[in-house]
A and B are shown apart, each in its own frame.
Chain A
Amino acid sequence: MAAIKYTSIILFVLFLSACAEVELAPRKNPRLSAATVQKIDPVSVRFAAKVYDYGTQEVVEYGFVYNDKPTPRVGDGITISRAGKPDDFFELETAHTMVPGRKYLLVAFMRTTNGITYSGIVEFVNQR
C-alpha cells in the first residue's frame, strides 16, 4: 500500500512539474506575400501581392519597389504606392521605362506608423 502511494505521488509531481508558461510578444509588423508581375507591356506594368496579416500597427501606405540593382528599397528604386490600408489582395499599375530584356528585382511593401515591411525579393525580366 505504501509503495503504491509513493508511486502515485511521484507520478502526480511529475505531471504537475511538466507545466510551464511562456510569453510570446505580440507581433506588430504586417505580413505580405512576395510580389508578382500581373501584366507587362511596352508602356505599363501591373504588380500584385497578398496580405497575410495586417499586424497591430496602423498601415499608412502600400505599394511596390523595383530596381535593376540588388535589394530594391523605398528611396533606392522606382516606387509605386498608394496611401492607406490595402485589401488582402492588392495590385497597382503604372507606366514604366524598363529596358527590354533587362533583369529587374521587385518587392512589395507596407508602411506602418512604426516602420516599413518588405516582402521577399523576386526577379523578373522585361520581355517587352
Chain B
Amino acid sequence: MGKVLVFVSPMVLNRYFASLLLLILLSISSYGQDGDFVVLPSQEKVYGSMVNTFDFTNAKSVNFRNSSDQAVNQYMPSDLIAFGLDNGRYFKSIHLPEENEKVFVQVILSGEKSLYKYKKVFYIDDDGKLVKLNSSYSQSLGAESNTQRSNFKPFVNTLNLILAGDCGNSLVVTVMGAKYTENSLAEILSKYHECEGLEFINHIQEIPLVRISPMATAGLAFLNQDYYPINASKVMVFDRNSFPVFQAGVRFHQIRKLPRLAFDLSVAYMNRDNTLNYQFENSEGLTTGTQVYRSSSILVPMFVDYQLFKFGSVGTYIGLGGIVRNTSFEVDYAIVDYTLFFNSVTTVTEEQFFFNEDRDFAPAIKLGAHINQGKKVGLLSELQFDYQSKNTVRVWPYSDSTYKQFTVAFLFSIIF
C-alpha cells in the first residue's frame, strides 16, 4: 500500500474526460440543424437553423443562421413573411388589430379559414378577414343575495357565423362543445375543410403531444467513498475508483405543452468489484484492514429535466431526481489488524468490516446536452452526481462509523 489517488483515479483520466466534455460543448456551439427556414419578403425560402431561441411563441424577433454562408441574422416580424421549424411548427408575420406593429403568430391550421394563435388568443383568417375568437369567461348574474355564475363561450357564436353553411350546420353540435384549445379548434376547422372539400394543413397534427424515445447509455462512474466530514485519522483507500456503467431507458421529451421539461427513466447495471484498504490511528494504537469484495448494482435512475438553453439543435438541461440502487455484495477476503503501541502486539482477525446497504435511494442532479435534438437519432452527454449517506464501516474495537458515497458519472447516450 503506498501513495494512491482516490475518487477520480487516475487524474489523467479525469482531465481527459473534462477536456473531452469541454471540446464537445464548445464544438456544439457552432453546430446547428438545417431543417428550419425563413420566408423573406421576396418570397425566397431560405434554409438554416434558428439560434439561441428556445420557445418561439410570442417571440419578438428570431435569430437565424443561414446554412449556405453560416451568417446569423436577426429578423423582426416586419422583415419576414413567415418562418418554420424542423418539427413542423409554422409562424407567420401578420398585423393584428390590437397590435401597432406586425407580430409573429403561430399558424395552427392553414386553409381557406386559417387558425392563428398569438399570446394565448386564437384568430381565424377568414379568407383575408381576421376575426378574433374571444375566450371563455364566467360571469356572476343576478342580485348579490341571489347570484349565479354562468360560463360564456363567445368564440362559439363567432365560429358558427364564420362556418355558416351546410357544413357549418352539420358541425353545430361539435362547435357547441368546443374548447378554447389548439386541438379542439383545429379539429373543428379540419372537419369543416374536409366537409367542404377544401385543402388545408393542420400544422400541429405533426407535433406529438410527447415524444417517447428509447435510449442506450454507456459511461464511467467515479466513486468517492469516505467519511464526511473527512477525518484525517480514518482513511479509506480503494484500489479502483472508476467503474463502467451501462443503462437502457426511455426519455419523455418534446412535450407539446411543456416544451422545456423532459422525464428520464432507466435501468442501469454497474459492477463494483473492489479492494478496500482501511487505516485508523489514535494515541493507543493502529488499526488497518483490507477487504476484497464483489459488488454489482442494478440502478434505476429517474430524473425530471429542465431545458436551460438551446443552441441550434443542441439543448442543454439540468436534471433533478434520484437513483434507486439494489446491490449484491459478497466478501471474498476481509482482515483487520489491531496494533497496540505500548507492547507492539498485533491481533489479526478475519472479519468483514465494510458493509454496503442492499437497497438505497440517492438524490441526484445532472447537467446534460442533447445533441441533434428534434432529430430521429440524437446524443445525450451528461454529467451526473449522486449522494448516498447510509453505508457502514464497523472496525473492532471502535464503534460503527457511517461513510458517504459521492458519485460522478460521465454518460453518453444514443437516443432514438
Using a CB–CB cutoff of 8 Å, the interface residues on chain A facing chain B are: 1, 3-5, 7-8, 11-12, 14-16, 18-27, 29, 31-34, 52, 73, 114-120
Contact = CB atoms under 8 A, between A and B. Distances in A.
Contacts of A15: 8, 14-15, 17-18, 21, 408
Contact of A29 (B222, B346, B408): B346
B185 interface: no
B15 A52 contact: no
Contact of B3 (A5, A8, A23, A115): A23
Contacts of A5: 26, 29
A31 B1 CA distance: 14
- Residue in A1, A4, A25 whose Cβ sees the most chain B Cβ within 10 Å: A4
Contacts of B247: none
A12 B21 contact: yes
Interface of B: 1-8, 11, 14-15, 17-18, 21-22, 25-26, 28-29, 222, 224, 235, 237, 277, 279, 281, 288, 308-309, 311, 316, 335, 337, 339, 343-350, 367, 383, 408
Contact of B237 (A3, A19, A22, A118): A22
Contact of A16 (B15, B25, B339, B345): B15
A24 B383 CA distance: 30
Contacts of B345: 73, 115-118
Contacts of B281: 25
A11 B367 contact: yes
**Max chain A Cβ within 10 angstroms of own Cβ: one of B4, B7, B309, B346:** B346
B222 A4 contact: no
A118 B3 contact: no
A19 B13 CA distance: 11
A76 B346 CA distance: 16
Pick from A23, A29, A116 the residue with the most CB of B within 10 Å: A29
Given A4-B311, A16-B14, A29-B346, 17 more contacts: A1-B311, A3-B309, A4-B29, A7-B25, A11-B22, A15-B15, A16-B15, A18-B8, A19-B7, A22-B235, A26-B2, A27-B1, A31-B335, A32-B348, A114-B344, A117-B345, A117-B346
Contacts of B348: 29, 31-32, 117-120
B279 A25 contact: yes
Contacts, number: 120
A11 B369 CA distance: 12
A27 B339 CA distance: 11
B6 A22 contact: yes
Contacts of A7: 25, 316, 367
Contact of B288 (A22, A27, A73): A27
Given A7-B316, A18-B408, A27-B1, A33 B350 contact: yes
A22 B8 CA distance: 12
A100 to B, nearest CB: 30
Contacts of A16: 14-15, 18
A23 B3 CA distance: 5
Given A5-B26, A18-B224, A120 B347 contact: yes
A59 B2 CA distance: 21
A1 B367 CA distance: 17
B339 A29 contact: yes
A4 B346 contact: no
A120 B309 CA distance: 62
Contact of B18 (A11, A21, A26, A34): A11
B6 A20 contact: yes
Given A31-B335, A33-B350, A21 B5 contact: yes
A10 to B, nearest CB: 8
Contacts of B222: 18
Contacts of B21: 8, 11-12, 15
Nearest to A119: B348
Given A22-B6, A119-B348, A120-B350, A8 B25 contact: yes
A78 to B, nearest CB: 18
Given A11-B383, A31-B335, A120 B5 contact: no
B7 A12 contact: no
A122 B281 CA distance: 27
A103 B362 CA distance: 50
B350 A20 contact: no
19 contacts: A4-B311, A4-B316, A7-B25, A8-B21, A11-B21, A11-B367, A15-B17, A15-B21, A16-B14, A18-B408, A23-B235, A29-B337, A34-B350, A73-B345, A115-B343, A118-B347, A118-B348, A119-B348, A120-B349
Contacts of B309: 3-4
Across the A-B interface, the 5 shortest Cβ-Cβ residue pairs: A115-B344, A15-B18, A117-B346, A29-B346, A8-B25
Contacts of A23: 3-4, 235
A22 B235 CA distance: 8
A102 B17 CA distance: 65
A76 B395 CA distance: 27
A50 to B, nearest CB: 10
A7 B367 CA distance: 9
